[in-house]
Every structure is written in structure tokens, then in C-alpha cells.
Amino acid sequence: MIPIEHRDDELRFDVRVTPKAKRAKIGGRHADALRVAVTSPPEDGKANAAVIQGLAKFLKIAKSNIAICGGQTSRCKRIAVRSMTETELRDRLRDVIDA
């Protein structure tokens, strides 16, 4: 399972982003990170916005509860999630990666 860190009132975990993918997809692992593919290019923050939008849809929470707190210009990003328990997050991640 992907390591999840508690910090203040947030849960944090890493993602590995593939920009300009043929289709958007969330699933699988890359080391200790969740794989996220987005169709947007990595320019002007378009890929970052697509990552937030895709994760919000996947996790079934508002986009305002997700932030990129590290790695804004990197493929490896640190994601912060609010308004969700660790159990809920692990349950949703379990569907797309090995438990």
C-alpha cells in the first residue's frame, strides 16, 4: 500500500504523473506513489489542474479539498487531502492498487 502521512488535518501521499497520456487514468504504483495519467500537457499548470480534477473525481471529494503541496514542476508530486479519513482513502486506493 502507498504510505500515507498525517499532517495537521490533512492526509498526504505521493503520486507519479504522466502528462500528455492518450487517456486519463488513475491506478497502479510507481515505487511508493500512485500512478496518475492525464491528457493535459505539463505547461501553464494544466497538468496539475488535471491531476487535482482527476483525483477529486476518483476520491469523490471536492477539488477544494485536494492540493499539490510539493513537486509542482515535477512528475513526482506530494498530494494533500482534507475532509477524508485514512480508512476512506485506503479503501478507495485499494480498488486501483495492490493492497
**Residue 93, C-beta contacts closer than 8 angstroms, at least 6 positions apart:** 1, 2, 34
> Which CATH number do you get for residue 50?
3.30.1200.10
| 27 domain residue, yes or no | yes
pLDDT at 97 (0 to 100): 77
What does the alpha-carbon distance between residue 19 and residue 32 come to, in Å, rounded to a whole number? Answer: 19
Going by C-alpha positions, the residue among 73, 69, 88, 74 that lies closest to residue 12 is: 69
In a domain, 50, yes or no: yes
Question: Does residue 90 lie in a domain region?
Answer: yes
pLDDT tens-digit profile of 39-91?
999 999 999 999 999 999 999 999 999 999 999 999 999 999 999 999 999 99
Which of the four pLDDT bands, split at 50, 70 and 90, describes residue 99? very low
Mean pLDDT within 25-36:
93
Q: Which domain holds residue 80?
A: 5-94
pLDDT at 95 over 90: no
